[in-house]
Amino acid sequence: MIQLELFPPSEVAVPTKPPIESARARLNAALATLRSASQMPWTAKEVAFWKVVFPQMSKWLPAEERRLLCDEFARLVLGFEAGQG
């Protein structure tokens, strides 16, 4: 008997897609937070997080919706960073 037979085969984790509605809700919530703020509502660490996560999460959406949301996100964040609030 070889040693590999002593252990059951491990299950391979299959990556799953988040439901589109879940991604859409989180993205829209982030945008709503930015829209309603008079100054940047996030810490520098949170801004860095969202700058990475927002475009990645938007990849689950249809192309045109993704483009519109990412454009608005960039415009809002750049506005705060430029001091335009």
- What pLDDT score was predicted for residue 55? 97
pTM: predicted TM-score of the whole model, two decimal places:
0.76
Q: How far is CA 56 from CA 3, 8, 10, 18, in A?
A: 42, 36, 29, 12
Percent of the chain with pLDDT over 90: 73
What pLDDT digit, counting tens, does each position of 48-83 carry?
999 999 999 999 999 999 999 999 999 999 999 998
- What pLDDT score was predicted for residue 10? 72
Tally Cβ neighbours within 10 Å of residue 63: 9
